[in-house]
Amino acid sequence: MALIVQKFGGTSVGSVERIRNVARRVAKWRAAGHEIVVVPSAMAGETNRLIALAKEIQAHPDPRELDVVAATGEQVTIGLLAMALLELGVKARSYSGWQVRIVTDSAHNKARITSIDEAKAGNITTLGRGGSDTSAVALAAALKADECHIFTDVDGVYTTDPRIVPEARRLRTITFEEMLEMAGAGSKVLQIRSVEFAGKYRVPTRVLSSLTDPAIAVVEEAQAGTLITFEDDPHMAMEKAVISGVAFNRDEAKITVHDVPDRPGIAYAILGPIADAHIDVDVIVQNVGHDGMTDMTFTVHRNDYAKAVKILKTQVQPHIKCREISGDERIAKVSIVGMGMRSHAGIAAQMFRTLSEEGINIQMISTSEIKITVVIEEKYTELAVRVLHKAFELDQA
């Protein structure tokens, strides 16, 4: 008998019939002798409806009050799901965050969990989109659960997006480190903060589909989906692929500051005002200088592109004497991720050669111990993902 936290996304609880299916699935696990804690999202579309209502009142809704309104979406689902379980004869009670005392900081709409056991009646906060992934993992950590199940509308983590590469394979396991790099590189299966939390508290987390037959045998479902493991986990020995997956992201834009003086402090002079404006910077590349000058290139989210360029032209350019500021919104970031590349030389070379054979120019490169990311022209995204998936034999079981 195990204690398991199961999280169901908005699509999984998007209608009365789907809520009944979730209840059947939970009841089945309960009948198999396990203790189950369920964390459902709001019904699909409900959070958008509530936010739209708030925006009719205030174009920029007060963050505290927006959370008061938006949190009702999940409150409705927990009540309905408890009823559906009771209807099946399963003892169930719903609890709001304040009742089980999940304490967050007061950064409304993107609150961070500070503790789960402290007794304090505070404000209502929401953890932001995808927050229920994080709630589920946090609960699993607090309860020392044996496993956390994240039920979603895909049946696991794939070597890449199957819509682009039909040969993409579901991974039976992936390490936290790889999952973190995949999420950071654009994979949308799990919210990145939930993966960080799972890693920090070592919560064994399994990604599963809620759209399968709810009556599937527990013994089968317990092995389905993708299990996120630790590097030192015995599960790791089962799969030894050098590369686990290819991730990509088309949400970013590239900005280059040309011919800036190659001196200490120049990176801060450029990126400080960007950070002050709460704009996140992702890939940063600064080449070796020539004649005392260098170029600095970095990527930001496309939504922040215009704002970032404006800051550079008004607040940075007057002070640092750069020659030009240019940018490009039509780029893509493509990454290969894998624990195995640490002990295999030549992975980067193989990646660059593969892209070059297709005539794809690499604009920027950034590497971590288990990830290599390249920035390329956006129109080559699918081609790059397909050839890399094939080159690293990710279609082979």
Pairing mode of beta strands 293-301, 281-286:
antiparallel
Q: Which of 1, 117, 121, 343 binds a copy of itself (CB under 8 A)?
A: 121
User: Would you state the structure tokens that stand for residue 150, as one six-digit string?
Assistant: 């994240």
79 lies in the site for a copy of itself, by CB under 8 A: yes
User: Would you state the structure tokens that stand for residue 191, as one six-digit string?
Assistant: 């919210």
Taking the least distance from each CB to a copy of itself, the nearer of 79 and 265 is 79
User: Beta-carbon neighbour count of residue 220 at 10 Å?
Assistant: 9
Judged by CB under 8 A, the chain residues 6 through 35 that form the site for a copy of itself are: 16, 19-20
User: Would you state the structure tokens that stand for residue 176, as one six-digit string?
Assistant: 């936290």
Taking the least distance from each CB to a copy of itself, the nearer of 39 and 266 is 39
Taking the least distance from each CB to a copy of itself, the nearer of 128 and 340 is 128
51, 70 in Cβ contact below 8 A? yes
Stretch that binds a copy of itself, among 25-33, 71-79, 349-357, 374-382 (CB under 8 A): 71-79
User: Would you state the structure tokens that stand for residue 48, as one six-digit string?
Assistant: 């958008």
Question: CA-based Rg of the chain, rounded to a whole angstrom?
Answer: 23
Q: Which of 72, 212, 366, 368 binds a copy of itself (CB under 8 A)?
A: 72
82 lies in the site for a copy of itself, by CB under 8 A: yes
Q: Which of 4, 13, 66, 308 binds a copy of itself (CB under 8 A)?
A: 66
Q: Which of 2, 31, 57, 217 binds a copy of itself (CB under 8 A)?
A: 57
Taking the least distance from each CB to a copy of itself, the nearer of 19 and 341 is 19
Q: Tell me the sheet residues that pair with 158.
A: 170
107 lies in the site for a copy of itself, by CB under 8 A: no
Reference 125, options 202, 71, 199, 206; nearest CA is 71
Q: Which of 3, 32, 51, 83 binds a copy of itself (CB under 8 A)?
A: 83
Spatial neighbors of 394 by CB under 8 A, at least 6 apart, are: 159, 160, 167, 168, 169, 241, 243, 245, 246
Q: Which of 48, 106, 114, 123 binds a copy of itself (CB under 8 A)?
A: 123
68 lies in the site for a copy of itself, by CB under 8 A: yes
65 lies in the site for a copy of itself, by CB under 8 A: yes
Count of H helices and E strands in the chain?
Answer: 14, 16
130, 188 in Cβ contact below 8 A? no
90 lies in the site for a copy of itself, by CB under 8 A: no
Pairing mode of beta strands 147-152, 205-209:
parallel
Taking the least distance from each CB to a copy of itself, the nearer of 54 and 364 is 54
- Give the whole-angstrom CA distance, residue 203 versus residue 176: 10
By CB under 8 A, name the binding residues for a copy of itself: 16, 19-20, 50, 53-54, 56-58, 61-62, 64-69, 71-72, 75-76, 78-80, 82-84, 86-87, 93-94, 96, 98-99, 101, 119, 121, 123-124
